[in-house]
Amino acid sequence: MKVNVGGSSVTFYHGLSTTAATDAPDELRLMGDTIAVTADTAYTGYIDAIDYARVLGVVIYELGSETIDEATEWFTSTIPQARAPIFDAFHGKLLQGLSEIHRHNAGTVSHWSMINGASRTRTSATKINLIDNSTTGAPSVATPGVKLDLTYRATEGVATVPMEFGVYGSMASGSATVELRDSSNTVKITVTINSATPGWFTATGNLAASLEKYDVYFCGDGTNQVAVSSFSLIEWEA
């Protein structure tokens, strides 16, 4: 099995049979490795199952630094002590660091893709629900979408919650549209796909700081076909 993330790859070898997949409890194995990544960067992971490996699950998580280095943004090596002064600069550095963490790693995410890895395709310029590939009208309680609880996610100075909407797709020619709509059928974020090379196309917008259902609609340009394989909603602010 080979796992590719952001251009880097890690290969794991395991198997009890060369002719069939094996996944009995006593035949399972947990494997792990680390890959260096770049801050403020979105990555796509790919898994190649070679021969008869059967992947049952993958978990990717961030490892914290074990070394405090003042050269790293918002790190401080100051250790408060009894009767020692605590300067405003100490507070400022910590608070600004926490603000950056919240803005860039706020936590709210929602991802969708087809279970078989295929893509939704459409040539018509009439927008249609991406998930069920049939709804052309306004979102309703019966249409498939995502529910985001952004209650209390807004900051003191902003009443809404900034989100990034990423769509993975391609279009041989022309431009296609993918929209994120709320339950009142208001378009909140629009992504344009205009490249024959499959990749991520992104746009940003502000969503309500409340529990809300959102539907995703897509369409071609009436002549050229668009292919969409997945989308991601990420709470993130530049």
Show the tokens assigned to 68. 């405090």
pLDDT of residue 14: 61
Angle at 104 between CA 238 and CA 151, to 5 degrees: 100
- Strand bridging mode 211-219 / 146-149: antiparallel
CATH topology of domain 109-235: Jelly Rolls (2.60.120)
pLDDT at residue 18, rounded to an integer = 60
pLDDT means per 10 residues, the chain with 238 residues, are 56 62 71 78 72 75 72 71 80 78 76 90 97 93 94 83 94 97 96 95 95 97 96 87
Contact present, 59 and 35 (Cβ < 8 Å): no
Cβ-in-10-Å burial (0-12, 13-18, 19+) of 65 comes to exposed
N residues, the chain: 238
CB 153 within 8 A of CB 108: yes
* Entry pTM: 0.73
C-beta separation of 81 from 46 below 8 A: no
Say how many C-beta atoms besides its own lie within 10 A of residue 182's C-beta.
17
pLDDT of residue 107: 77
The domain limits of the chain are 1-63, 64-105, 109-235
pLDDT at 1: 47
- CB neighbour list of residue 149: distance below 8 Å, 6 or more residues apart: 210, 211
Residue 54's CB is within 10 A of a number of other CB atoms, namely 14
What does the pLDDT read at residue 214? 97
- For 171, the 3-state DSSP assignment is strand
